[in-house]
Structure 1
C-alpha cells in the first residue's frame, strides 16, 4: 500500500506512476585547441511529476484521512499550496502487500505546475497532473570591502525572527510547519500540541489561536504498547508498522487517531501514549 501526502493532504487515490527527474548542471566548454571538456557540478533540484484521480464518488478503494471529500475540496487545497508562496512536505510511504514497511520519500517541495482535466472517460471525476520541485533553504552572506579593495568574508549571524506569544492558524498550516517556522524544529510540534491541549497534532483548524513557547524537542519511544479496551491483552507496537495493520490482524475496527510524527506517517512508534482500540458491536476483519 502506498500513501501520498501533499502537506497535510492525503491523496484519495494513489498515483499509478511517479517520475523523479534528477536535474543535470554539468557544463561542456570548448578549449582553444577545440577539445571539449565537461565541468562537473552537483545535481540540480529534483523534480517529481505524477497524475492522480480526484473522485466525486466515494469508491471503496479510495483513502480518506477522516471523511469523504468531493474533488473541489482537493482543488482548493492545491490552490492554497500554489498561491501561498511556501514550501511544504511531500511524503510517499510504502508498505508491501505482506505488511512489510519499505522505504519512503520525505522531502520539502514547492508546487510548480498543475493541471486539472475533466474527461468523459472518467465520468464525473477529475484528473490532476502536478509537477513538484525540491526546495533548498538559503541565506545571504554580506561581504564588506576594505579600503584597499580586497574582499573580506565576514560570518554574519542570521537574525532570528522574534517569537510571537500566540499564532493564528492559516489555510495550509500544519502543526509541524508552524513549529518548524516559529521554533526552528518541526519535531517540537508534539510538545507544542501538549502546550495547547491538542490530543492529535494533525487536527488543527483555520482561525485557531495557538499559544507559542520555545518547547523542547519531542522524543518518542518506539516500544510502547497498544492496549485493547476491556481486554488484558496488549500488543508490542515494535512488531507492527501501521495501526491499521495491527487492528486488522486482531479483528477490530481501527478507531484510534495516531499522533502523526513530523514526517506525517501513521506509524505505531509515533504514538505518544497508549492508543485505545475499542471493540464495536460487530468486529470487522
Structure 2
C-alpha cells in the first residue's frame, strides 16, 4: 500500500511507517442513587494524531520531492512556520493499493500542537521529527453593545446588538423564482403566511398567481 502525507500543501519526503489517530469523546459517567452508573453521551471530541517522519539531508530515490530536492533546513523552516503562525492547516493522508487503485484518504483541519527533533547517529545526517496534531474546528463568538440611556448631560447612544438572533424565515424584498416554486410556498417561506399570495400577486400585477416561471423576480414588499 502506498501512502503520501501532506502538511498543508507540502508532502513529507519520506512516508512515516506508522500513524496513530485517537478519536476522542466527551462522554461522562455519573452515579445515580439506586440506579448505579449511567453514561451521558455527548458530542465527539477532537481527534489527536501522532506520527514520526524522517527528514533526509541527502536525496533518496524513494523520497518524494514535489518541486525538486530540498534539504532538511527547508522542511524545518516550513514546520516551524506551521507552529508559530497560529493558523490551522490541512493534514492529508492519501492511500493507494500496490496496483495504484485509490483506497481512501484522511483530510482534517488541524493545528500543530508539538513536535520534537531527534538526531541519531544510526540515521546518519537525517533527522527524525515526532509530530502531535489536533483536529481544529472553527467557532465564532457573539458580541453585544449595551444601549446607554440618555441623561441631561449626555447624548443618547442608539446602538443595537451586533449579532441579533435571526428567525428561520428572514424577510426578503425580492425573490428569484426557482424551478418547482409556487407563489403560495414562496409567501409561506419568506413572509410566514402562504395566504398572502393574493396580495403579492397584486403587488407584482400577476393576473394568474399560479403562473410564475423560473428566473422571474417577485417583489415581496
The equivalent residue for 1:163 is: none
Q: What are the residue-to-residue correspondences of 1:65-84 with 2, within 5 Å?
A: 65-84=66-85
Q: What are the residue-to-residue correspondences of 1:131-170 with 2, within 5 Å?
A: 131-141=132-142, 154-155=164-165
The equivalent residue for 2:19 is: 18
The equivalent residue for 1:100 is: 101
Paired with 1:111 and 1:86, the residues of 2 have a C-alpha distance of: 9
Cα shift at 1:110: 0.5
| CA RMSD in angstroms, aligned pairs only | 2.2
Larger Cα-atom Rg: 2
The equivalent residue for 1:63 is: 64
The equivalent residue for 1:261 is: none
Cα shift at 1:126: 0.3
Paired with 1:20 and 1:49, the residues of 2 have a C-alpha distance of: 7
TM-score w.r.t. length of structure 2: 0.63
CA contact (8 A) 1:53 1:125 kept: yes
Q: What are the residue-to-residue correspondences of 1:76-225 with 2, within 5 Å?
A: 76-141=77-142, 154-155=164-165
Q: Counterpart of 1:86 in 2: which secondary structure?
A: coil
The equivalent residue for 1:159 is: none
Flag structure 2 segments of 5+ consecutive residues without an equivalent.
147-162, 167-221
Cα shift at 1:47: 0.8
Q: What are the residue-to-residue correspondences of 1:203-282 with 2, within 5 Å?
A: none
Distance change >3 Å, CA 44–CA 63, structure 1 → 2: same
Paired with 1:140 and 1:33, the residues of 2 have a C-alpha distance of: 41
Higher strand share: 2
Q: Counterpart of 2:122 in 1: which secondary structure?
A: helix
The equivalent residue for 1:219 is: none
Flag structure 1 segments of 5+ consecutive residues without an equivalent.
146-152, 157-285
Paired with 2:38 and 2:103, the residues of 1 have a C-alpha distance of: 41
Cα shift at 1:88: 0.4
Paired with 1:24 and 1:127, the residues of 2 have a C-alpha distance of: 30
Paired with 2:117 and 2:72, the residues of 1 have a C-alpha distance of: 11
Paired with 2:100 and 2:57, the residues of 1 have a C-alpha distance of: 29
CA contact (8 A) 1:144 1:154 kept: no
Q: Counterpart of 1:61 in 2: which secondary structure?
A: coil
TM-score w.r.t. length of structure 1: 0.50
Cα shift at 1:105: 1.1
Q: Which has the higher contact order (CA 8 A, sep 6+)?
A: 2
Cα shift at 1:141: 3.4
